[in-house]
Amino acid sequence: MPIGDWFKKEQKDDAQSAEKRAVPDGVWEKCPGCNEALFIKELERNHMVCSKCDYHFPISAQQRIDNLTDHGSFEELWAEMHSEDPLHFIGVKAYTMSLDKAKKTTGLQDAAVCGRALIDGRRVVLGVIDFKFIGGSMGAVVGEKITRTIELATAEEIPVITVSSSGGARMQEGMISLMQMAKTSAAVARHSAAGLPYISVMANPTTGGVTASFATLADIIIAEPRALIGFAGPRVIEQTIKQKLPKDFQTAEFNLQHGQIDMIVDRANMKRTISRIIDYMGS
Amino acid sequence: MKRFAYDFERPLVQLETKLDEMKRLESAEKEDIAADICYLEEQIQKLRMRTYSKLTTWQKVQLARHPDRPKMVDYIEAIFTDFIELHGDRAFKDDSSITGGFARLDDEKVMILGHQKGRNTKENIAWNFGMPNPEGYRKAIRIMRLADKFGLPLITFVDTPGAHPGIGAEERGQAVAIAESIMELSQLKVPVIVSVIGEGGSGGALAIGFGDRIIMLENSYYSVITPEGCASILWDGEVSAERAAEVLGLTADKLLELGLVDTIVKEPLGGAHHAPALVARNLKKEIVSALDELKAVGKESLADKRYEKLRSIGHYAEPIKTLTK
Ligand SMILES: [Zn+2]
């Protein structure tokens, strides 16, 4: 989902939330991929992936961490860092209101959750972006935390892993957000120059300033099935070229076919795959 | 000849056109209207002050996009000598929306690189309105590496609405091309001096748009997203790009205040196209003085200093307890 759609959805969610609360906690969840009603317990056991059609439900940063790291090994860093609203930005609503709402819904201070972890007993530093926090957009906090994540891995000479789902740079922090692309990319350059591994996982969706910086600068790029990955949003492209886009345009499969990523890996196999790759990369 | 004018400039242009007519009449010695001409000139001067001395953000964005505004090609001619243009990404094609090559800045051998906007429709079509495809950024990376290899300071000029949004651009890796260009800039062991001369549109601008010094022309802009894009996303198209421009903090003075750019080069009333030679001279002065400063920094510490500069771009809050970790 490009960031524009995220904003639309958020507004719709506001309207629908009252209605939603009236329905008791569901046992079933309808799959957006195949419309099948799925038993939630089973869906959770299956890493939030539809067993019928392989649709990957969006998951939180915490769920991703649980999915990728050894049980109980994650030690979060810089959790209290938060935005200062440097531009005093007011859109349809004040940026501070969007921040407050995102903090409430996610329990996070900003979109990135970073820290040390073990993967099959191997030490790594992990940075995960949660799409639920203002479309996973990168402002000063996400940029700083991802940079520190990379720097820590460089200093400790261990692999760094990022998991992205982001609409790109955060508009509400203007040029400060754009400059985070340069900051994170420069940190990747230093990590790489030190001969250390970097693996980037891209989930649905990863676009804009995040694909045009650290997320595509990894040694190995892995995508989740069907994830939307690209630079420009599909609607912007459609409006510019004034023609229909190919059916699978900007999907993970499209990106694999065009040589933009190394592989597409199911959520269930993600940890094992990363572990096997790191094993080839020394230390 | 009919001059291009934005709505807010139209009353002024009308008066100026009238003045031209009167001068033609006078020179044909049909009437003695010297006093009238004098009066009109005064009025024009007053109106020019009123029109341009307190520009809104949106008017600055308009001037940044003005078709008559000096372009990369104009600055190459005005500032440098002996330009040797280089072409191609060695993989797919030559993307002429980005140009660059060897040049001399007075006695200094340098490498220049910039977005190419056209001075007319023909050039704009040929140069894709300064909107690069991935091969443009890959050409930029080649040019950066040459600069690094031969120890030539890199002087870049930013003027793009943004990277080209298209099917082919995505197929050929627009995102990674920009990312790699940004990463390359961060590692160069030669001085990098950036001049934002018109539009600094998002990632497509940043790819050649940060360095040891960032200079901005007074009426240029540098933004995370175009005002139009911001308006359509944040307000669902219900407010104008004009309103979005106000909140994005994209003007030279605002960015200087935020510490994101280093220097502003003043423009004459009405924008750089009203005195292109003067603006080029002043821009050159800033580039030369930045280069003098940077040459004093040791070759080995340039990239480190650039990294520190990037590292200092923060604007976040952090409680003390997490700092002690
Ligand atoms: Zn399904």
Q: A with B: how many residue pairs have Cβ under 8 Å apart? A: 196
The stretch A245-251 carries a mean pLDDT of 94
Same-domain check for residues B45 and B117: no
Task: Report yes or no: B322 at the A interface, CB cutoff 8 Å.
Answer: yes
The token pair at A180 is 């985070």
Please check whether residue B324 lies inside any domain of the structure: no
DSSP letter assigned to residue B95: -
Same-domain check for residues B32 and B144: no
Distance from C-alpha of B298 to C-alpha of B288, rounded to nearest angstrom: 17
Mean confidence (pLDDT) of chain B: 94
Same-domain check for residues B80 and B33: no
User: Which residue segments constitute the domains of chain A, with CATH numbers given?
Assistant: 59-280 (3.90.226.10)
State yes or no: pLDDT of B22 exceeds 70: yes
The stretch A46-74 carries a mean pLDDT of 96
- What's the pLDDT tens digit per position in A110-165? 999 999 999 999 999 999 999 999 999 999 999 999 999 999 999 999 999 999 99
Task: Report yes or no: B319 at the A interface, CB cutoff 8 Å.
Answer: yes
Whether residues A78 and B322 touch (CB distance < 8 A) is answered with yes
Task: Report yes or no: B91 at the A interface, CB cutoff 8 Å.
Answer: no
Please check whether residue B323 lies inside any domain of the structure: no
Same-domain check for residues B195 and B50: no
Please check whether residue B319 lies inside any domain of the structure: no
State yes or no: pLDDT of B237 exceeds 80: no
**Pick from B174, B249, B321: which is nearest to A232 by CB?**
B174
Same-domain check for residues B43 and B122: no
pLDDT band at B134; cut points 50, 70, 90: very high
Please check whether residue B228 lies inside any domain of the structure: yes
Please check whether residue B320 lies inside any domain of the structure: no
Whether residues B318 and A179 touch (CB distance < 8 A) is answered with no
Same-domain check for residues B145 and B263: yes
Same-domain check for residues B307 and B171: yes
pLDDT band at A21; cut points 50, 70, 90: very low
State yes or no: pLDDT of A20 exceeds 60: no
pLDDT band at B32; cut points 50, 70, 90: confident
Q: How far is the CA of A54 from the centre of ligand 1 (A)?
A: 6
Task: Report yes or no: B300 at the A interface, CB cutoff 8 Å.
Answer: no
First to last CA, chain B: 68
pLDDT band at A18; cut points 50, 70, 90: very low
CA B283 to each of CA A99, A129, B276, B278: distance values in angstroms, whole numbers, following the listed order: 40, 41, 10, 9
Question: How many other C-beta atoms can be found within 10 angstroms of the C-beta atom of residue B275?
Answer: 16
Contacts of A186 in chain B (CB under 8 A): 182-183, 186-187, 306-307, 310
Which residues constitute the domain of residue B46? 7-54
What ipTM does the predicted assembly reach?
A: 0.95
pLDDT band at A19; cut points 50, 70, 90: very low
pTM, 2 dp: 0.94
Name which of A175, A250, A261 to mutate to probe chain B: the one with the most chain B Cβ atoms within 10 A of its Cβ: A175
User: Quick one: B325 exposed, middle or buried, by C-beta within 10 A (0-12, 13-18, 19+)?
Assistant: exposed
**Percentage with pLDDT > 90 across chain A:** 84
The stretch A82-88 carries a mean pLDDT of 96
Which pLDDT belongs to residue A10? Answer: 61
> Would you say A31 is a known binding-site residue?
yes
- Residue B111: which CATH number? 3.90.226.10
Q: If you measure CA to CA, which chain A residue comes closest to B233? A: A4
Please check whether residue B1 lies inside any domain of the structure: no
Same-domain check for residues B35 and B71: no
**Pick from A87, A92, A245: which is nearest to B249 by CB?**
A87
DSSP letter assigned to residue B251: B
Per the rule left: phi > 0, alpha: psi between -120 and 50, beta: everything else, A229 is: beta
Among residues 163-202 of chain B, which lie with CB inside 8 Å of chain A?
163, 165-167, 169-176, 178-180, 182-183, 185-187, 202
Distance from C-alpha of A241 to C-alpha of B131, rounded to nearest angstrom: 13
Same-domain check for residues B274 and B232: yes
State yes or no: pLDDT of B90 exceeds 80: yes
Which pLDDT belongs to residue A25? Answer: 58
Total number of domains constituting chain B: 2
What DSSP element (H or E) covers A28?
Answer: strand A28-30
Which pLDDT belongs to residue B24? Answer: 87
Nearest to A181 by CA among A193, A194, A196, A166: A166
Final residue in a domain of this structure, among B17, B35, B54 = B54
Q: Which residues of B104-123 are buried (b: 16+ CB within 10 A; e: fewer)?
A: ebeebebbbbbbbbbbeeee
Q: How far is CA B271 from the centre of its chain?
A: 13
Please check whether residue B283 lies inside any domain of the structure: yes
Which pLDDT belongs to residue B124? Answer: 94
Which pLDDT belongs to residue A1? Answer: 44
Q: If you measure CA to CA, which chain A residue comes closest to B223? A: A175
Please check whether residue B318 lies inside any domain of the structure: no
**Pick from A83, A171, A249: which is nearest to B316 by CB?**
A83
Whether residues A83 and B186 touch (CB distance < 8 A) is answered with no
Mean confidence (pLDDT) of chain A: 92
State yes or no: pLDDT of A26 exceeds 90: no
DSSP strand pairing (A198-206 vs A220-223): parallel
DSSP letter assigned to residue A214: G
DSSP strand pairing (B154-160 vs A75-77): unpaired
What DSSP element (H or E) covers B81?
Answer: strand B81-85
DSSP strand pairing (A263-264 vs B263-265): unpaired
Same-domain check for residues B226 and B292: yes
Same-domain check for residues B108 and B14: no
Same-domain check for residues B45 and B79: no
Which pLDDT belongs to residue A8? Answer: 63
Q: Work out the minimum CA distance from B282 to partner chain A, whole angstroms.
A: 25
Least confident of A1-5, A246-250, B77-81, B285-289: A1-5
CA A242 to each of CA B96, B134, B146, B165: distance values in angstroms, whole numbers, following the listed order: 23, 20, 38, 11
Q: If you measure CA to CA, which chain A residue comes closest to B252? A: A175
Distance from C-alpha of B313 to C-alpha of B325, rounded to nearest angstrom: 21
Least confident of A68-72, B22-26, B185-189: B22-26
Q: Is the peptide bond before A205 cis (omega within 30 degrees of 0)?
A: yes
Contacts of B316 in chain A (CB under 8 A): 81-84, 140-141, 144
